Amino acid sequence: MMAEEFSLSFLMELERDKILEVLYRDQVVQKAEDDRIRKLKMQLHQLRWKGVKNVNESQERSCARCQQSLGWMLNRGAVCEGCSHRVCSGCRIYLNIYIWKCTVCYAHREVKIKTGDWFFEERAKKFSLSGKYETTGTKLLTSYQKMSNISVVPPTPPPFAEAASEGNSMDLSKSKGFTKSVENLFFSLTTHMKKISKSQDDVTAPRFHLTADYGQHAEWRKERRSQSDTAIDIANRITNAPNLLNLIKKTKGTEECEDSSSKQEEDFNFTSNTIFSGRRKYGSICSINSTCTEADNYDKTNVTGEIELAIMYNFKTSTLEICIKACTNLAYGEEKKKKCNPYVKTYLLPDKSPQSKLKTAVKKNTVNPSFLETLKYKIHCSQLVTRMLQISVWHSGTLKRKVFLGEVLIPFESWDFGDNSLQSFNCYQLKTKVIIAPQNRACMV
Amino acid sequence: MASATDSRYGQKESADQNFDYMFKILIIGNSSVGKTSFLFRYADDSFTPAFVSTVGIDFKVKTIYRNDKRIKLQIWDTAGQERYRTITTAYYRGAMGFILMYDITNEESFNAVQDWSTQIKTYSWDNAQVLLVGNKCDMEDERVVSSERGRQLADHLGFEFFEASAKDNINVKQTFERLVDVICEKMSESLDTADPAVTGVKQGPQLTDQQAPPHQDCAC
């Protein structure tokens, strides 16, 4: 069988450098390929969603793809052999005169071709592979990294002229600690990826269910919750004033609580939303599930003003740095009292776990706060393209109440970190909260 | 016929995403049979008579237009020397197709073809597509391996066969294009015999479960 461990240890230093240069070039190619594959899969995913929505909505006979209703005699539709869904004649693509596939199955086939999945599947028959897109180059780099940790002499920087002279995002050769930094990069790539994906699974997936089913499956929900420690942590961490009040009220009796709920909301200026009211109705579980208390305050204030910030990526330390300079002309957090204690908070979406959250200090009594703070995320640059930076401004009120003052979303999909103009300070208009539709969210997760 | 796009190697091409799919191809064979020259001729249309031994591995990227598709080729050039064998064989499993090369003026390199073929069988996937290429066919005066022997061996091993010259640019492009074609054939074959139940069925209900009314983001 094939040796799983690759090693560059037998090579002389010059040879090693030469090969490393090739490996780094390969990484560039591979990154572009990974990007492309991810986009293709995303498109397929979206196409699937269209059909699924339809199945959910109605029981009547309709085409699983275009949702057009099907008749019993005419335009009856036919079952696609690929997916067993009934589709109308318009949603079939003929591979030859006899064989057809529905649009989704056809797209699935196309994606298999374009991503090279056909090959990976074939190959898996012979080699059971853990990461199917993992390349030999990646493995070699990892083994090299391990090796150079052991050796006392630090490796010399490889001649990286090719990539660097192109002025592309890998403009690393100028830095002295190049090799080291790239090693770190690849090391953090693997460890980080594991960590991040894990936290995402733990947090987003259960929450999705917690808030979605309105407590109708409390049994199942409990089970689910116990599986995920992180979810509990988050729920327990939140001790906002409204919750405490809810809890106190509840000891007096749920009946009373429900009766007075509308009045209470007015008193405290709460904005009720589906989640909130849903939680109240099913009082027994509401206190633990309240992961979304701040959501209540979203549309309370109008959003004005701008935020000035700079975003740069430090390849040496593989850190995303967001320098928050200032905000101008913010809305008042408490309009009547003309009070505003703003601070800035960021998430690296889709990760909404606490690890992804960063905050600046709170500035007192100003609508033109100057922060001059740099928030840092340690993340590999190849991971960034799937992320979106959410920068929101909040008012920190009394009783730890937070009021939303606006936000900016910056997707990194087409962000060029080699472009210096993007790295300087820019003003961004603050926007109201964008609620991401569930299907988009599913794609992002 | 197919027309190759501008393919001057560079960073831009490496990171380019404007293509339909990517094939990885590996060139193998004894040292000094002309693997690197063959690749340089194809990718850069250049030739240098000087012999520079390849260190470990190298690759070039070329995007071609074939059968109405843009295909990006990542062509790996391997060192023929034994001492790099652990590295080069590691790349076998990522390759969809191989160019197995010998030198028509070098008997030893021809005798080694069988061994190289075994290497492919061992380290690569089962349907690896291989083309046998006898390089340096411009050097007719020094030929020691006849075309006939080459063809016979190729038939025996089940590979297609070309004689080529990187120096005089004979059959270089044809070799790569043929290899791309046979990979494409293998691809459709594997897709059409694939289990049709892989689509939709399993994903459907799962996705329905996840479908939920929009909810506010947690903003704690």
Which of A23, A26, A115, A275 to mutate: most B Cβ within 10 Å?
A26
Distance of CA B210 to the CA centre of its chain: 42
Distance CA B30, CA A371 (A): 64
Residues 129-168 (B) with a CB less than 8 A from some CB of A: none
Q: Which residues of B touch A19 (CB under 8 A)?
A: 55-57, 87
When the candidates are 3.30.930.10, 2.60.40.1110, 3.40.50.300, 3.40.50.2300, the CATH number that belongs to B21-190 is 3.40.50.300
The 3-class secondary structure across B133-196, one letter per residue, is: EEECCCCHHHCCCCHHHHHHHHHHHCCEEEECECCCCECHHHHHHHHHHHHHHHHHHHHHCCCH
Structure tokens at A241: 């004033």
pLDDT tens for each residue of B175-195: 999 999 999 998 888 887 754
H or E element that contains B113:
helix B113-123
pLDDT tens, A132-180?
566 777 777 776 666 555 443 334 444 444 333 343 433 333 333 444 4
A257-293 pLDDT tens trace: 444 444 444 444 443 333 333 333 333 333 333 333 3
Contacts of B71 in chain A (CB under 8 A): none
**What pLDDT, in 10s, does the model give residues A373-394?**
888 888 877 777 778 888 999 8
Look up residue A315 and give its two tokens: 């390849």
Q: Please give the Cα distance from B159 to B153 (Å, whole number).
A: 8
Please give, rounded to a whole number of angstroms, the shortest distance from the CA of B125 to a CA of chain A.
5
Phi–psi pair at A429, nearest 5 degrees:
-70, 130
* A52: Cα within 13 Å, side-chain hemisphere: 22
Torsion sign, CA atoms B189, B193, B194, B197: positive
Q: Cβ B218–A294 below 8 Å, yes or no?
A: yes
Is-contact A382 A189, C-beta < 8 A? yes
Q: Which residues of A touch B220 (CB under 8 A)?
A: 234, 237-238, 291-294, 357
List CB contacts (< 8 A) between B207 and chain A: 48-49, 52, 442
Q: Which residue of B has its CA nearest to A104?
A: B200
Q: How far A419 CA sits from the closest chain B CA (Å)? A: 15
Tell me how far CA of residue A439 lies from CA of A444, A445, B213, in angstroms. 9, 10, 10
Cβ neighbours around A94 below 10 Å, total: 10
User: What's the start-to-end Cα distance of chain A, in Å?
Assistant: 37
Residues of chain A found within 8 Å of residue B122, distances taken between Cβ atoms: 2
ipTM above 0.85, yes or no: no
Are A359 and A343 contacting, i.e. CB atoms less than 8 angstroms apart? yes
pLDDT digits (tens, 9 = 90+) for B102-130: 999 999 999 999 999 999 999 888 888 99
Name the residue in chain B with its Cα closest to that of A346: B219
Strands A370-378 and A319-328: antiparallel
B18 in contact with A, Cβ within 8 Å: no
Q: Which residue of B has its CA nearest to A271?
A: B216
Distance from CA of A398 to the nearest CA of B (A): 16
Residue A137, both tokens: 């180059």
> Which residues, 6 or more positions from A34, have their beta carbon under 8 angstroms from its beta carbon?
A133, A382
Nearest CA of chain B to the CA of A304: how many Å? 19
Contact A122 B207 (CB under 8 A): no
In tens, the pLDDT along A85-123 reads 888 888 888 877 788 888 888 888 888 888 888 888 888
Candidates A6, A238, A274; nearest CB to B86: A6
- Edge-to-edge strand ranges of the sheet holding A402-411: A358-359, A342-349, A388-396, A402-411
The set of residues, in sequence order, having a beta carbon less than 8 Å from that of A82 and lying 6+ positions away, is: A101, A102, A104, A105, A108, B196, B197, B198, B199, B200
Chain A residues closer than 8 Å to B219 by CB: 292, 294-295, 298, 345, 392, 394, 402, 404
Tell whether B220 is within 8 A of chain A (Cβ): yes
Q: What is the pLDDT of residue B167?
A: 94
pLDDT value at position A213? 40
CA distance B156 to B175: 19
Tokens of A362: 């709170």
The DSSP annotation for A221-249 comes to HHHHHHH-HHHHHHHHH---HHHHHHHHH
Share of chain A above pLDDT 90, in %: 1
Question: How far apart are the C-alpha atoms of A48 and A42, rounded to whole Å?
Answer: 10
What count of CB pairs under 8 Å joins A to B?
Answer: 193
CA dist A265 and A275 (Å) reads: 14
With CB atoms and an 8 Å threshold, state whether B211 touches A53: yes
SS3 of residue A65 by DSSP: coil
Give the pLDDT score at B13.
60
Mutate which of A52, A133, A140, A417 to test chain B, going by most B C-beta atoms within 10 A? Answer: A52
* H/E run at residue A51: helix A13-57
Window B:72-131, CB contacts with A under 8 Å: 74, 83, 86-87, 89-91, 93-94, 96, 122-123, 125-127
Structure tokens of A69? 């209703």
Domains and CATH numbers, chain A: 13-51+61-141 (3.30.40.10), 306-429 (2.60.40.150)
